[in-house]
Amino acid sequence: MTLRITHLGTGSRGNSTLLETDEVKVLIDQGFSGAQLEKRLGLLGISPEEIDCALISHHHGDHGGGANIAQRKWKMQILSNERTALELGLDPKLTSYFDSLDLIKIGEELSVLPVPVPHSGSDNVAFIASYKGERAAVITDLGSWTDELVRHVYACEHISIEANYDEKRLDSGPYPYSLKERIRGRGGHLSNNQTGQFLAEVCTKATRNIVLTHLSEKNNSPHLAESTVLYHISDVFDGDIHISLQDGPEMSHYIGKTEMETNHTKTKNHSKIV
């Protein structure tokens, strides 16, 4: 039995990540339309009705904008903090509230810990999933980090984290000055360099794979994100690093597996992940 982590797609047009064990199927965020969620899950051979619940990190539309749709269309159970639920107008009958650092048990062996992260205009949380003694972190939309976040992410076997922008591309790009300042502020997003610096604090030899998410289509590129992050972590990380883009799902990663089973499987041309 393993925990499979599959990004259905990450970016400004929608985010969602599937956590799947033999027992449960859980979404982290639901920022897609109903049709897009159905299509992306379908590529994995899963229907939305099979999802046990969705945990929403914060109320911004690209992370929680599809939660209400999922409740109306599939009666999906949504877990969020109270502010997020109110901002999204979620159905109270299908919504459960958590507070930061509440340990959420889902099934017999999967637990998820919401950890607060700085992001303006939202009570945003990262999620640390624990399964069979191993941990996976899914962290997005933060302009900085805290000692508390470092403590909970340290030595996770899997880390998904945003690497939103390259500083030079943002400076020379088309955004107005006010938006550039908001993006690089403490409540904005992480640059490639900041992501590398954070990962250098939390990666250990236990960390087997990293996925960089939420890359800006205008202010970043996969090769810049990967090379910049690797510059910072080459002394502490020798596992696999991959990029999750807007059009997924692209790959799955696993925790709770034996060493021989840790290779991920990829999809090409929308083939099914097996």
Domains and their CATH numbers in the chain = 3-258 (3.60.15.10)
pLDDT for 122: 85
Residue 212 makes CB contacts below 8 A (sequence gap 6+) with 161, 162, 163, 195, 222, 225, 226, 229, 241, 242, 243, 244
Q: What is the pLDDT of residue 44?
A: 97
Angle at 225 between CA 224 and CA 227, to 5 degrees: 65
pLDDT for the residue 166: 97
Q: What is the CA radius of gyration of the chain?
A: 17
pLDDT of residue 257: 60
pLDDT of residue 121: 82
Instruction: Write out 155-178 in H/E/C secondary structure.
Output: CCCEEEEECCECHHHHHHCCCCHH
What pLDDT is recorded for position 264? 45
Q: What is the pLDDT of residue 270?
A: 30
The low-confidence residues of the chain, meaning pLDDT below 70, are 257-274
pTM over 0.85: yes
Looking at residue 250, what is its pLDDT? 82
Given this model, what pLDDT does residue 271 score?
A: 28
For strands 240-243 and 209-213, give the pairing. parallel
